[in-house]
Amino acid sequence: MATYQEERRADRAAAATQAREDKRLLLDAQLQAKRIDAEQRRLDAETRAEQERKDKAEKRRQEQAERRARQAEKDARKAAAAAKRARRVAWLKANPATLFVAFVMVASIVPAVISQVGALAGAGVYGPLAALLAAMLEGGAWAITFMGKQAEDAGRETRTYRIATWLTACAAAAVNLWHGMEEYAAHPWVAFVLGGSSLFAIGIWDMKTHGSHGRTKAEKKEQAAREKHAADRRRHHKDIVREADRLLAAMPYGAISEEEAFAAAWRIHRGAEPGMSAELYATATNSRVQLGAAFELGEHARPELLRSGLLAAALNPLPNALPTLGRVTPLADLSEPEEGASVTPIGAAKPQVASQVPPVEKTSGKGPKPNPVPPCRTKGDTPPFHTAARIAAAETARRSATARVS
């Protein structure tokens, strides 16, 4: 019996222990669930806060981008307006005449139209009809004027348009003059002012479009020089000009210019480039030959003549325009020698040939004469010949060859 009671107590104790353990486990599970739920809520809150931060940053970036775009658009509008104002100011500065011409034209056309309407209405013409007829007179003149301007820009003839413009303007001026003579009989000068209002605007515009676009003085001077050059060419080279005209007529239109045709005709008739001929080449050759002969003759001339020629070259008033051959002797070398100084006459100096021959060794007259040593030349052992000397040598060689042939 006692054992049974003990077993029951043990069972109850075990059941109580198990119940406590189960309750503890349940409490632990509940606590764990609460911790997990709190952690999840914390993570969700952090996630929401991060998302809100990102949304705010994105919204701030969008607002900044929109603000920058609005500022850039505003700056672009300001820049465009400033550029437009600058273009207007530049145009006004560059075209003040156009501005005042437009003002004067308006001030001239409006009174002319009003006067014509009054003249037609005073004659009993219905008001709207009078306005249309006045617009026909003044507007017709300006319509023809602008048609002539368009034709001028296109490169067409404008004479017909200008004649029609002035005829229409004169008709409108006659209407205004007649009306002024009747309306202002006590002051007839007013009639002439009204009549001139129809002509003044046309005259101002005609001067603006034609008088300010003529040739300049330099262009007129160049045109006159070209015409004089063409006249001189036809006077001095008649045969060449006739041949050039035949070449222009034979070639397709525009294939060659007048200068090209003249150059071709010159080569055909003269056989040389334009401006040169066989006679000119012969004259130039003879001049060079005579110059060489003059230098050759100068070798045998007296020192006084040579000195005079060098002095004339040194005292040349136009040394750049009329250069001399070779180096000019300075005046200091040609001036009178000082008292007591040694004088070497011109022509007595050591000739250039002496520098090309080796010095002869002086020996006494006794004993056998040694064999001569042949000369040994080296490059640059003598100064180069002058240009005049080369020309004279060439001319001498040519004359020698001619004499041997003959």
Which pLDDT belongs to residue 157? Answer: 82
Residues 228 and 298 occupy one common structural domain: no
Residues 174 and 258 occupy one common structural domain: no
| 347 token code pair | 């022509």
pLDDT digits (tens, 9 = 90+) for 39-70: 998 999 999 999 999 999 999 999 999 999 99
* Alpha-carbon span 190 to 197, nearest angstrom: 11
Which pLDDT belongs to residue 344? Answer: 45
Give percent of the chain with pLDDT exceeding 70: 71
Last residue of a domain, one of 213, 248, 266: 213
Which pLDDT belongs to residue 15? Answer: 86
pLDDT band at 72 (very low <50, low <70, confident <90, very high): very high
> Would you say residue 180 lies in a domain?
yes
Residues 112 and 185 occupy one common structural domain: yes
Which pLDDT belongs to residue 96? Answer: 78
Which pLDDT belongs to residue 336? Answer: 47
Burial of 173 (0-12, 13-18, 19+ CB in 10 A): buried
> Would you say residue 17 lies in a domain?
no
Type of residue found at 145: T
> Would you say residue 332 lies in a domain?
no
Residues 192 and 240 occupy one common structural domain: no
pLDDT digits (tens, 9 = 90+) for 340-394: 444 444 444 444 444 444 555 555 555 555 565 555 666 666 666 556 566 666 7
Last residue of a domain, one of 290, 313, 336: 313
Which pLDDT belongs to residue 83? Answer: 92
> Would you say residue 258 lies in a domain?
yes
Burial of 22 (0-12, 13-18, 19+ CB in 10 A): exposed
Residues 262 and 175 occupy one common structural domain: no
Residues 197 and 233 occupy one common structural domain: no
Q: Which residues make Cβ contacts (< 8 Å) with residue 347, sequence separation at least 6?
A: 303, 306
Residues 224 and 209 occupy one common structural domain: no
Residues 130 and 196 occupy one common structural domain: yes
* Alpha-carbon span 355 to 353, nearest angstrom: 5
pLDDT digits (tens, 9 = 90+) for 289-341: 888 777 766 665 556 555 666 666 665 555 555 454 444 444 444 444 445 44
Q: Which residues make Cβ contacts (< 8 Å) with residue 375, sequence separation at least 6?
A: 357, 358
> Would you say residue 28 lies in a domain?
no
> Would you say residue 364 lies in a domain?
no
* Alpha-carbon span 211 to 149, nearest angstrom: 13
Which pLDDT belongs to residue 356? Answer: 47
Which pLDDT belongs to residue 139? Answer: 82
* Alpha-carbon span 242 to 235, nearest angstrom: 11
Q: What value does the mean pLDDT take over residues 125-137? A: 82
CB 102 within 8 A of CB 96: no
Q: What value does the mean pLDDT take over residues 389-402? A: 66
User: pTM here?
Assistant: 0.42
* Alpha-carbon span 296 to 392, nearest angstrom: 6
CB 257 within 8 A of CB 279: no
pLDDT digits (tens, 9 = 90+) for 223-247: 899 999 989 988 988 999 999 898 8
Q: What value does the mean pLDDT take over residues 147-161? A: 83
Domain that holds residue 155: 105-213
Cα angle 272, 275, 277 (rounded to 5 degrees) comes to: 45
CB 390 within 8 A of CB 352: no
Instruction: Return the closest-CA partner of residue 119 out of 175, 172, 164.
Output: 175
Residues 145 and 175 occupy one common structural domain: yes
Q: What is the domain count for the chain?
A: 3
Residues 148 and 166 occupy one common structural domain: yes
Residues 115 and 201 occupy one common structural domain: yes
pLDDT digits (tens, 9 = 90+) for 111-122: 888 888 888 887
* Alpha-carbon span 167 to 132, nearest angstrom: 19
> Would you say residue 61 lies in a domain?
no
* Alpha-carbon span 401 to 379, nearest angstrom: 29
* Alpha-carbon span 230 to 241, nearest angstrom: 10
Which pLDDT belongs to residue 81? Answer: 92
> Would you say residue 132 lies in a domain?
yes
Which pLDDT belongs to residue 203? Answer: 83
Q: Which residues make Cβ contacts (< 8 Å) with residue 204, sequence separation at least 6?
A: 101, 104, 105, 108
Residues 173 and 190 occupy one common structural domain: yes
